[in-house]
Amino acid sequence: MTNLETTYGTLYLCATPIGNLEDMTPRAQRMLAEADLIAAEDTRHTLQLLNHFGIKGRLVRYDEHSKEKQGAYLLEQLLQGKSVALVSDAGFPGIADPGEALAKEAIAAGVRVVPVPGANAALCALIASGLPAYPFFFGGFLPKSKKNRREQLESWKYIPATMILYEAPHRIEEVLKDILDSWGDRPMAAARELTKLHEEFYRGNISGCLEWLAAGAARGEFCLVIGAGEAKAPGAEAELEPLDEVRQLIADGVDKKTALAQVAKKRKIPKRELYNQLISEGEEA
């Protein structure tokens, strides 16, 4: 029987620096220099990296917008015996980027897939956060839509693990406010500009982090490390927030006015307060 892995090429998943170029490993440099093709999210960004290390290579763009077409091309090259080094703009390819799809397709086709380790923002932030490093849950980027983000946060609320999230500077305050509303004021660390000249950590709690950001710290890409939620008792359901209970009743066919009245009476809160909350969430009451 022919060993397909000796006939096919190899897909190397090469980690690149997340800021400090000294974190580029000798092995990753060698893989990039020896590969027949280098697949990159942003070829201009990767070309700068290659030039810095004096590496010549044939660059192919592979990003979220081109992954279907380029993925098919790269897989064809692998099946023809070519070696492909896949990189992201920073850190590990396949973590919160389209590299995951190519690795999955290559494995399904019987192509050898080899990790080439290096820097990673999530793990760097975790080990320097001061929070328990095990177990941890990596959630990547939360949804951009407020509604979808709220639903995602609620579904993760009771995971009994340290939570790791990525976020962009222009959304960081809005996202943290949603996390505070959904999960409460948990202990957390926020890391920005990891391994770079202006690397900075905030360590405290979510409300304190919002104050830190308001003072002018919301610059650079962020990695958030947030304390674990309390696990629900077996078979127990988390109590809905008052507004969510109103929405649940409406979804079950209760008219909005009656739903507001029922929840207000049950929770012993003014109906007008619930009504105003509903309005503030951008929903018609």
pLDDT by residue, tens only, the chain of 285 residues: 345 445 899 999 999 999 999 999 999 999 999 999 999 999 999 999 999 999 998 999 998 888 889 999 999 999 999 999 999 999 999 887 888 999 999 999 999 999 999 999 999 999 999 999 999 999 999 999 999 999 999 999 999 999 999 999 999 999 999 999 999 999 999 999 999 998 999 999 999 999 999 988 767 789 999 999 876 655 545 567 888 888 888 877 788 888 888 888 888 788 788 777 777 766 554
Which amino acid belongs to residue 192? R
The region, left, alpha or beta by phi > 0 then psi within -120 to 50, assigned to residue 195 is: left
d(CA 281, CA 97): 31
The Cα angle at residue 196 between residues 41 and 194, in degrees rounded to 5: 75
pTM of the model: 0.75
d(CA 62, CA 14): 14
Q: Cβ distance 161 to 187 under 8 Å?
A: no
Strands 200-205 and 187-192 turn out to be antiparallel
Q: Cβ distance 33 to 106 under 8 Å?
A: no
Which amino acid belongs to residue 114? V
Q: Can you give the pLDDT at residue 239? A: 65
At residue 24, the 3 state secondary structure works out as coil
Q: Cβ distance 183 to 207 under 8 Å?
A: no
Q: Can you give the pLDDT at residue 220? A: 79
Sign of the alpha-carbon dihedral angle for 29, 87, 189, 225 = negative
Q: Cβ distance 88 to 61 under 8 Å?
A: no
Q: Can you give the pLDDT at residue 238? A: 54
**Dihedrals phi, psi of 205, to nearest 5 degrees:** -135, 175
d(CA 187, CA 183): 11
